Amino acid sequence: MQTIHGKYAVITGAGRGIGRSTAIALAREGVNVALLGKTIENLQSVQKEIDSYGVQSLAIQMDVKDASNVQSAIQEVLQTFGAVDILINNAGIGAYGKFMELTEDEWDNVYEVNVKGVLRVTQAVLPHMIDRRTGDIINISSTSGLRGTEGSSAYSATKFALHGLTESLMKEMRKHKIRVQSLSPSRVITDFGGGKNRLTDEEAEHFMQAEDVADVIVSKLKLHPRMFVKHSELWATDPQ
């Protein structure tokens, strides 16, 4: 496997859950990390956690629903770091309920974050990667984007859309030597959707943890640049 030491990464939704764990895992590998998210206090807390690894870090408040905010945040990253080698599109929200009870506003909100948020951040970063003819983009999806489940029509629809976006972009970017791929975990025990609050510690141990997903992300980034795994589907071994 290749080293990723000294590279520069952008992570959206970096203040908690998979984003936080990925930031720590990358910093441990010597990657400089830009932490982007809506809650600056959470980002600054993660930044303190990775200080001990001796890497450069940025904590930038950013809402993926705000196009001008996204552009200014990425410009700040580029001005400070000078490069972006890795983009982890992790920011996401859920919208759950019976199909006939979910409002159009709820549908619009989850689509704005889970699909158009990825669009905005990726379009802001891609010109730089294309110019350098190198880069890794990993979109964090879900097994809900591979098969629908009762009560998740809006969330599943956005994750299905994200898979289509990812595969199409992957085919466009291969000629530029940019690897675009997606990662679809099943249930991960994070604060997303209040997951931690509904389980005991013993029950939670049967499911994937955020740091497990972060380990997979690191392993994918360390593959030789001549290859990549375009999609990974992750499941807990014994979810009882």
Domains contained in the chain, CATH given: 8-229 (3.40.50.720)
Q: Is 8 a catalytic residue?
A: no
Taking residues 84-89, report their average pLDDT: 98
Phi, psi angle pair for 100, to nearest 5° = -75, -10
Given phi > 0 = left and psi -120 to 50 = alpha, else beta, which region is 165?
Answer: alpha
* Core vs surface per residue 74-110: b (16+ CB within 10 A) or e: beebbeebeebbbbbbbbbbbbbeeeeebeeeebeeb
pLDDT given for residue 31 in this prediction: 98
pLDDT given for residue 189 in this prediction: 85
pLDDT given for residue 72 in this prediction: 98
Question: What's the mean per-residue pLDDT of the chain?
Answer: 93
Q: How confident is the model over 38-58, as pLDDT tens digits?
A: 999 999 999 999 999 999 999
Tell me the CA end-to-end span of the chain in Å, nearest whole number.
Answer: 34
pLDDT given for residue 158 in this prediction: 97
Q: How confident is the model at residue 227 (pLDDT cuts 50, 70, 90)?
A: very high
The two structure tokens encoding residue 157: 């629809």
DSSP character at residue 113? I
Q: How confident is the model over 101-119, as pLDDT tens digits?
A: 999 999 999 999 999 999 9
- Rounded Cα distance between 145 and 152, Å, is 10
pLDDT given for residue 207 in this prediction: 85
pLDDT given for residue 123 in this prediction: 98
pTM of this prediction exceeds 0.85: yes
- Rounded Cα distance between 30 and 222, Å, is 12
- Rounded Cα distance between 140 and 153, Å, is 18
Q: How confident is the model over 164-206, as pLDDT tens digits?
A: 999 999 999 999 999 999 999 998 987 755 445 455 565 667 6
**Computed from CA positions of residues 3, 131, 74, 162, in that sequence, does the dihedral angle turn out positive or negative?**
negative
CB 95 within 8 A of CB 102: yes
